[in-house]
Each structure stands twice: as structure tokens, then as C-alpha cells.
């Protein structure tokens, strides 16, 4: 009798049951759609495996560290404290109003930018598993999202502490953050799918993505409040980073975003999801050969 002593091996062997990765070329649009849907649904059914792998990623990344992921929390707290007082003075804004805004902005931006960065290596980082196991490609995307949500859970400590210190009010508008966060997860899966596939094929793209994210940090209203621009801030509606950030940030600060921001965010999300689905249909059978 064969005994599998490694729990992870047991879980992975269970994941492989009843799932086959069809790598045939030249299939029709309907057949590719059916296989893509099967991949997505099978990946969702393996959510326990995604959580296990994401937790293992975090443990391996911070192995030997005393604080582990809390180092990111400490880093965020130091940045909020140091930049908060400086920019509040430069922007002539009361620290009581600006510091909660900055703490929330930096924490959410860290989550967003890390998903984009990790999405660029979603498939190349899982090269060994892709080449050796029959696992849905979507599972690697869910693993990425789960890992970053767990890290976000640590960084929320910074937001809670700042909100308590400055007695930031919590009202019913905060409930609008729930569907906004779900939208973030959908967009995170879509952008990771697009970047993961493209960066597996073209290894020059990750540095370009990193540069774009760095530019967006200074342009997209992370460090400054949109109201500071007055009527000149209309261009922010055409910035996908800003509108996606604002639909989650504004409710947590007790306000509801304008209709224009919701329309812009949903529009960009729909375009992104459409592109992601077309890319997945086009390159799904090629990813295993690119990594």
C-alpha cells in the first residue's frame, strides 16, 4: 500500500483528479470558451488549495524572520507617520484630516501595486508546478489574490490605529466598500491573468509595468486629495488607477463616490475583464510552453 506522507502532495494529487489540460491548437471559439470556463470553475472549486499555497508562500518568504509579514505593516506605519506630517504641512491640510486619508491610501495602494507586480510573474513563478502537475491555470491567480489579501489583513492594523487615534467616524457609507472590494478582486484576477500571460511570453514587460505603477503612484491621487485640484481634477476620471482606488477609499472615509467615478471604474473594469478573457482564450494552451 502506497502512503503519501506529505500533506501538500496529497492535496495536489487530489487537485489533479478529474481535470485535464487540453493543449491542442486550432480549436474553435466555442471549444476554447468551454475549456476556459472549466478552468475558471475548477480553480474556484480548489479554493482550499489556493489558500494553502498562499499561506505557504508567505511562510517561505519570511522564513527565519521574527516579525514575518508584520515587517510590511511596520514599514507602512513608518511611511504614514513620516510622510503624513510633511505633506500635511506642504498641502496646508489639518493633520487630523490628512493622516487617516494617507494611511488608507498607502495601504490600499500597496495592495493594488503588489497584485500588479505579482501578476507579472503569476505563471513564470509557478513554472515547476505548471510543468509537472495538471492544475487549472486560474488556480495560480487565485493563489496570488489570496496571498495578498492575507498580507492586507496585517496592514489593516495601521488603518485601524490611525482611525482610532484621530477618532475617524464610521458610518453606513462604509458598507459601500464591500462591493468595491469585490470589484478589486475581480480586477486583480483580470490584470494578473493578462500580465501573467504576456510576461511569460515577453520577459521585458515586468520592468515596464513597474515603471508605469511608479508613475501612477504620483499621478493618481494617492498622496493628495482629489479636491485639492478643484475643477482641474477632471482628468482623474480618465485615470483607471484613481477611479478604482477611489471607489474603495471614499466609502472607508465616510463618503460615497460620485456617479462619474463609479461609471469610470466600472467601465475600465469591464474593458479589463473583456481583454483578460480574450487573452486567456488565446494563450491558455501556450502558457505551459512559455514558462
Can you say whether the dihedral through the CA atoms of 96, 235, 271, 109 is positive or negative? negative
Does residue 9 fall inside a structural domain? Answer: no
Distance CA 149, CA 161 (A): 19
Q: Where are the alpha helices (DSSP H) in 133-170?
A: 138-165
pLDDT at residue 219 tops 70 = yes
Mean pLDDT of the chain: 85
239-273 burial code (b ≥16 CB/10 A, e <16): bbbbbbbbbbbbbbbeeebeeebbebbeebbeebb
CA distances from 6 to 12, 35, 46, 56, 60 (A): 10, 31, 18, 14, 17
Does residue 12 fall inside a structural domain? Answer: no
User: Residue 123's domain spans which residues?
Assistant: 29-290
Does residue 4 fall inside a structural domain? Answer: no
CA distances from 141 to 7, 52, 53, 218, 288 (A): 22, 14, 11, 27, 15
pLDDT tens across 20-59, in order? 555 555 566 677 788 888 889 898 998 898 899 888 888 8
Residue whose grid cell is 499621478: 219
Does residue 15 fall inside a structural domain? Answer: no
Does residue 3 fall inside a structural domain? Answer: no
Number of independent structural domains in the chain:
1
Q: Give pTM, 2 decimals.
A: 0.85
pLDDT tens across 53-87, in order? 888 888 887 777 767 667 778 888 888 888 888 88
* Per-residue pLDDT at 125: 87
Distance CA 30, CA 46 (A): 25
pLDDT at residue 248 tops 70 = yes
Does residue 77 fall inside a structural domain? Answer: yes
- Higher model confidence: residue 43 or residue 14? 43
Does residue 1 fall inside a structural domain? Answer: no
Q: Whose CA is closest to 215, among 87, 142, 116?
A: 116
pLDDT band at 186 (very low <50, low <70, confident <90, very high): very high
Q: Contact 40/281 with Cβ under 8 angstroms?
A: no
Instruction: Give the mean pLDDT of 125-129.
Output: 86
Does residue 60 fall inside a structural domain? Answer: yes
Cβ-count burial of 66 within 10 angstroms (0-12 exposed, 13-18 middle, 19+ buried)? exposed
pLDDT tens across 129-182, in order? 888 888 889 999 999 999 999 989 888 998 999 999 888 888 888 899 999 999
Amino acid at each position: 500500500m502506497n502512503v503519501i506522507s506529505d500533506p501538500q502532495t496529497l492535496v495536489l494529487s487530489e487537485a489533479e483528479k478529474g481535470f485535464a489540460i487540453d493543449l491542442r491548437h486550432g480549436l474553435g471559439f466555442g471549444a476554447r470558451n468551454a475549456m476556459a470556463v472549466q478552468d475558471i470553475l475548477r480553480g474556484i472549486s480548489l479554493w482550499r488549495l489556493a489558500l494553502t499555497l498562499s499561506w505557504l508562500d508567505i511562510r517561505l518568504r519570511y522564513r527565519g524572520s521574527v516579525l514575518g509579514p508584520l515587517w510590511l505593516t511596520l514599514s507602512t506605519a513608518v511611511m504614514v507617520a513620516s510622510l503624513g506630517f510633511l505633506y500635511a504641512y506642504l498641502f496646508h491640510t489639518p493633520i487630523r484630516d490628512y493622516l487617516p486619508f494617507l494611511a488608507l491610501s498607502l495601504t490600499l495602494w500597496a495592495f493594488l501595486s503588489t497584485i500588479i507586480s505579482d501578476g507579472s510573474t503569476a505563471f513564470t513563478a509557478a513554472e515547476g508546478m505548471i510543468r509537472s502537475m495538471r492544475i487549472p491555470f486560474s488556480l495560480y491567480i487565485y493563489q496570488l489574490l489570496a496571498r495578498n489579501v492575507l498580507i492586507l489583513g496585517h496592514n489593516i492594523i495601521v488603518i485601524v490605529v490611525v482611525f482610532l487615534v484621530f477618532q475617524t467616524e464610521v458610518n453606513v457609507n462604509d458598507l459601500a466598500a464591500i462591493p468595491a472590494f469585490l470589484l478589486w478582486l475581480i480586477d486583480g484576477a483580470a490584470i494578473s491573468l493578462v500580465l501573467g500571460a504576456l510576461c511569460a511570453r515577453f520577459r521585458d514587460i515586468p520592468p515596464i509595468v513597474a515603471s508605469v505603477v511608479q508613475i501612477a503612484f504620483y499621478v493618481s491621487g494617492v498622496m493628495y486629495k482629489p479636491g485639492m485640484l478643484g475643477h482641474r481634477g477632471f482628468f482623474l476620471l480618465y485615470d483607471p488607477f484613481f477611479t478604482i482606488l477611489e471607489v474603495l477609499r471614499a466609502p472607508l472615509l465616510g463618503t460615497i463616490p460620485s456617479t462619474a467615478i463609479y461609471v469610470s471604474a466600472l467601465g475600465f473594469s469591464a474593458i479589463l475583464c473583456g481583454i483578460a478573457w480574450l487573452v486567456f482564450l488565446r494563450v491558455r494552451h501556450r502558457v505551459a510552453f512559455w514558462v
